[in-house]
Amino acid sequence: MRSPARPASRVDAGRRGLLRMLGSAFLVPLPVLRSLLDPLRAEPSAIAELTPLQLIGWQSPRLREGRWNDAKLLREATESLDEMSHAARADGVNVWARSGHRTLSQQRYLWNSKFRGRDSVRAPDGSRETLDRELPAAEKVQRILSYTAFPGTSRHHWGTDVDMAQSFSDHCADYLLELGEVREGGEVREVREEREVRGEGGEGGEGEVGEEGEEAGEDPPADLPESCLPSHRWLIAHAAEYGWYRVYDAARGGFQPEPWHWSYLPLAVPALARYLVEVTAELLRDRDVDGDSVVLDDFVSYRDRFLLGIAPEALPGPEEPEGEGEPAPEDESGESPTVPELP
């Protein structure tokens, strides 16, 4: 059972500043520090108010658009994003979120367009392809899931996650995926042999809203590295001070790494905890999503691979166990059970 929500909780800018200062001094992530100093805030009121239909994007929660960003988010996430963007501007860097809350119908449009071969999908190696309409549904779903969440399961439905514009538009997504991570020190590390940067728009993190990408075939800007890296470097160095983290920072068997996708963990962690308890496959059925049975007939496997295959700091804490200290169950070979592959 979840802890009772604290009524009318709101963290003002002064308290956020104090928490950031303490977090920097003791090298403690902001969400962890908040949970230590204010355990009753494990489920903020904004998350406690979300209904199951809002968690899957069928209905929208109360959202707020920020001063420095186009993205609509839950109020606290918007305030933190504005504060972070303002700080970046003071450092001469433009940190701007282009895509925030997304409805199930928007995610469905993205998904069905890819499934029907009307829009390209990004493969795990970064290349793009248009799916043949004659492909089996299971194969289409497997390819789409490299970068696009099944409708009703996107973190964008919660009003806690954003795609940073300079990280996925203006050809930056392709560039960052070609070169790999920008580490905390700002050094670019090549993780695969550099290829010619393609003139295509960014994926937009779990699937972009169609009009947000650049036109396919357009030549990339001549100053591509200079236009892409400053905001990303700044975010790597400072975003955690404001509660923002990359949840798809490495390949963990689910979605591929997404350098453009950032999550406000003080709200996103409890949102995920509620989602895991309250959203079932039956709630997602009959939503006019192509190939839905491939995912929903084995929803637990999908959930474990894609919703839980994220950065460790973005995962909810374990529920109180029946017998404290008991190890995870093992199979007859003595190894922990693994998540099965989707068909």
pLDDT in tens, the chain (343 residues): 333 333 233 344 555 566 566 655 655 555 555 544 544 445 899 999 999 999 999 999 999 998 877 799 999 999 999 999 999 999 999 888 888 999 999 999 999 999 999 999 988 877 889 999 999 999 999 999 999 999 999 999 999 999 987 655 546 777 777 766 433 333 433 333 333 322 233 333 454 433 333 333 344 445 555 667 888 889 999 999 999 999 999 999 999 999 889 999 999 999 999 999 999 999 999 999 999 999 999 999 999 999 999 999 999 986 543 444 444 444 444 444 343 344 4
* Token pair of 254 as six digits: 């689910």
3-state secondary structure of 182: strand
Residue 230: per-residue pLDDT: 85
Buried b (16+ CB within 10 A) or exposed e, 140-161: bbbbbbbbbbbbbbbbbbbbbb
**SS3 label, residue 206:** strand
Give me the pLDDT at residue 68, please.
Answer: 73
Domains detected in the chain: 13-314 (3.30.1380.10)
* Residues 57 and 157 sit within 8 Å (Cβ to Cβ): yes
- State how beta strands 261-264 and 244-245 pair: antiparallel
How far is Cα 294 from Cα 298, in angstroms, rounded to an integer? 7
CA distance 183 to 189: 8
Token couple for 198: 């393609």
Give every CB contact of residue 333 below 8 A, 6+ residues apart in sequence: none
pLDDT on residue 324? 44
Residue 122: strand pairing partners: 128
Residues 281, 272: Cα–Cα separation, whole Å? 16
Of the candidates 27, 43, 64, 41, the one whose C-alpha atom is nearest the C-alpha of residue 240 is 27
| Contact criterion met (CB below 8 Å) for 182 and 230 | no
3-state secondary structure 58-116: CCCCCCEECCCCCCEECHHHHHHHHHHHHHHHHCCCCCCEEECCCCHHHHHHHHHHHHC
Please report the pLDDT score of residue 125 as a whole number.
Answer: 76
- Pairwise CA distance, residues 2 & 284, whole Å: 23
pLDDT at residue number 30: 57
What integer pLDDT is reported at residue 336 of this predicted model? 40
- pLDDT at residue number 272: 98
The pLDDT of residue 34? 54
Structure tokens of 259?
Answer: 């350098």
The neighbouring-strand residues paired with 73 are 64
Q: Say what the pLDDT of residue 19 is.
A: 56
The whole-angstrom separation of Cα 167 and Cα 325 is: 42
Burial environment of residue 55 by CB neighbours within 10 A (0 to 12, 13 to 18, 19 or more): buried
Secondary structure class of 162 (helix, strand, coil): strand
Counted residue by residue, the chain has a size of 343
The tokens describing 238, both together, are: 């400072």
123's enclosing H/E stretch is none
Q: With contact defined as beta carbons under 8 Å apart, do 245 and 313 qualify?
A: yes
Closest CA to 145 of 8, 253, 274: 253
> Is the pTM of the predicted complex or chain greater than 0.75?
no
Rg of the chain in Å (alpha carbons): 20
- Exposure string (b/e) for 30-40, b if CB count within 10 Å is 16 or more? bbebbbeeeee
